[in-house]
Amino acid sequence: MARARNARSLQRRGPQRAPYDYILIVCEGSKTEPNYLREMIRHFQINGANVKVTGECGSAPQSVVAEAIRIFEQDPLFDRVFCVFDRDGHAGYMDALQRIEAHRLVRRDGNKKSGLAEFVAIHSVPCFEYWLLLHFEYTTATMPRYSDVLSRMRNHPDLRDYSKGISGLFSRLKSRMQDALLHADRANAAAEDAGNDNPSTRMPELVRYLQNLK
């Protein structure tokens, strides 16, 4: 009888977190980035109770940051909070980066403070699709807008049918992920040397973090 009561109690409490980081990922896209990341999380066998992924905040970088802060304030136990957004043509891009740099997310358990959560910008210039392109080629060609990246993606058969919200994207590309990481590292280093962040992406930081989370 006691065992049955305990089982019912666990069901009411919902899934239990594993003993590693509790993380929040807020994306500017409502489908493409969240779907891709959720697939990745399942692939790495990360406990679903340890990560919340959302993209229900609009595409403006400031909206992504504001939503991340709002969710954290409601559940201030997250160890890390990631904001995934693009440079593209967003006027508030630099303001979003500065707010993440300046804002402090104070972790709390009830009324007890327990340090700061790490607040991280995962930004891509010009857009998230540059990270996808890097699975197939290394390029540092300046691409001002999403449409410039998309035209290059059309050169690769596995990306020719790409559209926003496409499903199964991570599964399609996962065999090339190591190539993408190496290409991104080279491109980011080249961007830093040139003092020009177009193109660049911080997606490798998030990917490697998720790879090693467990």
Average pLDDT over residues 180-203: 97
Residues 6+ apart with CB under 8 A from 155: none
User: Could you tell me the end-to-end alpha-carbon distance of the chain, in angstroms, rounded to an integer?
Assistant: 35
Supply the pLDDT for residue 24: 98
Supply the pLDDT for residue 13: 55
The residue with tokens 């400031």 is 62
Query: Mean pLDDT across the chain, nearest whole number?
Result: 93
Supply the pLDDT for residue 89: 83
Residue type, position 180, single letter: A
Domain membership of residue 88 as a residue range:
2-211
**Max CA-CA distance within the chain?**
69
Helix 177-194 crosses helix 203-211 at what angle (to 10 degrees)? Answer: 140
Average pLDDT over residues 8-36: 84
Beta bridge partners of 122: 84
Report how many domains make up the chain: 1
At 9, is the pLDDT very low, low, confident or very high (cuts 50, 70, 90)? very low
CA distance 113 to 106: 7
Supply the pLDDT for residue 11: 46
Average pLDDT over residues 165-169: 92
Judged against a pLDDT cut of 70, whether residue 189 lies above it is answered with yes
Instruction: Give pLDDT tens digits for 91-147.
Output: 899 999 999 999 999 999 988 999 999 999 999 999 999 999 999 999 999 999 999
Share of the chain above pLDDT 70, in %: 93
Supply the pLDDT for residue 14: 61
CA distance 4 to 10: 10
At 202, is the pLDDT very low, low, confident or very high (cuts 50, 70, 90)? very high
At 12, is the pLDDT very low, low, confident or very high (cuts 50, 70, 90)? very low
Nearest to 99 by CA among 73, 127, 125, 68: 68
Instruction: Give pLDDT tens digits for 48-104.
Output: 999 999 998 988 999 999 999 999 999 999 999 999 999 998 889 999 999 999 999
